[in-house]
Each structure stands twice: as C-alpha cells, then as structure tokens.
Amino acid sequence: MAILQLENGTTYTQLNDIAPILAPLNIQIDRWEVGDNPNLHHLLSQDSLSDEEKERVLTALDGYFAQLKQNYGYQSRDLLVIHPAIPNLNTMMGKFATIHTHADDEVRYVIDGEGVFGFVLPDGSQVELTVQKEEYINVPAGTEHWFHLTSSRRIKAVRYFISTEGWVPQYTGRELRFGQEVGVG
C-alpha cells in the first residue's frame, strides 16, 4: 500500500486520497498484480538475480510492457535489483537522493520491496511517497523529485524507457527540506 507523507506529517494510504495530491504533477500511480506464478515468486524471493533470471522475471511480466509500448511508445525495460549486500550501495543511491529532473519519464513497477519518491509540488511544498510491491508509478519528464530506499534497503523494480538517454539526472539545486519542520534548515 502506497504511503504519502506531507511535510506537516499528515499521511495518506489510499490511492484515492493520494492521486489528487499528486495530480498537479501528472504523476500516475496504480496497483498492478504480479500474479501467482510460483517460479516468478521463487525468483522474487532471492536477493540477487543473474541476467538470465532477470530476463525470466521480465518475460513473466511483459503483458504490462506490451500495454506501455502500445499506449505510450515505451521501447525497452530492465529489472533493477537492489539489496543490502550490493557493494557501494550508499554511493550508488546517493545520486538520486538530491532533487533532480529527467528529460524522459521515470517509470517503475515495484515487484518486490519498496522505495521512496519525493516530489516538489507546484506550491513549493515537498511530499514523500513510499511505493511498495505491486505498485506502478510514472513520474513525468521535468518533475522535480528524489529517490531513496526505506530501511529494508531492498527493491526489485521493472524500469520502462522510451529512451535511456533521457534518464540522466539533472540536478535542480533546490534544497531538500522534507522531514524538517517548515521554516527550519
């Protein structure tokens, strides 16, 4: 279940309550079932996956990819697998913990674990959205956002791309103040 937290500490857990808050940014969030394929669930239970295992996971979920290709022109996908044993995990994740934008949409389908996307709303306020297993999110190009892991430090997410070149972070220099009291820091 997605969890949206506002700067003032207010929390929302229902997509019907979260969607209107994110609507000014045109962020799409939805629930997509992984299904009950036992082979897929076995792969998802593993910390790390070989390239061949990643491709098996992607193939099992390609119905969603086919829809995105047809409806929005997505051209490729890959599987992001992050877990605590990855060397230099903090350095790797640090690139995304600063407010940035992308020239392309950032589209993720979380199939295991969870992560947190933060957003700058049009009024300048900031929110954080915890995205969990079986949740799909599309962050439109040009949206000021950041990303970090939760304390579990694990996530498996299918990433969908129109063009991988458009996914390089462009840092905005805006101060990340989420989690601080308004007017402090």
Q: pTM value?
A: 0.92
Is residue 106 part of an annotated ligand binding site? yes
Is residue 148 part of an annotated ligand binding site? no
Is residue 179 in some structural domain?
Answer: no
Domain with 12, as residue range(s), is: 3-164
Is residue 71 in some structural domain?
Answer: yes
Is residue 102 part of an annotated ligand binding site? yes
Is residue 182 in some structural domain?
Answer: no
CATH number at residue 81: 2.60.120.10
Contact 131, 2 (CB under 8 A): yes
| Residues 6 or more apart in contact with residue 144 via CB below 8 angstroms | 99, 100, 101, 119, 120, 172, 174
Is residue 85 in some structural domain?
Answer: yes
Is residue 107 in some structural domain?
Answer: yes
Is residue 170 in some structural domain?
Answer: no
What pLDDT is attached to residue 107? 94
What pLDDT is attached to residue 165? 74
What pLDDT is attached to residue 179? 55
Number of domains, the chain: 1
Residue 62 Cα distances to 58, 69, 120, 163, angstroms: 6, 10, 32, 18
pLDDT, one tens digit for every residue, the chain (185 residues): 899 999 999 999 999 999 999 999 999 999 999 999 999 999 999 999 999 999 999 999 999 999 999 999 999 999 999 999 999 999 999 889 999 999 999 999 999 999 999 999 999 999 999 999 999 999 999 999 999 999 999 999 999 998 877 678 899 999 998 754 333 22
What pLDDT is attached to residue 164? 72
What pLDDT is attached to residue 182? 35
Is residue 130 in some structural domain?
Answer: yes
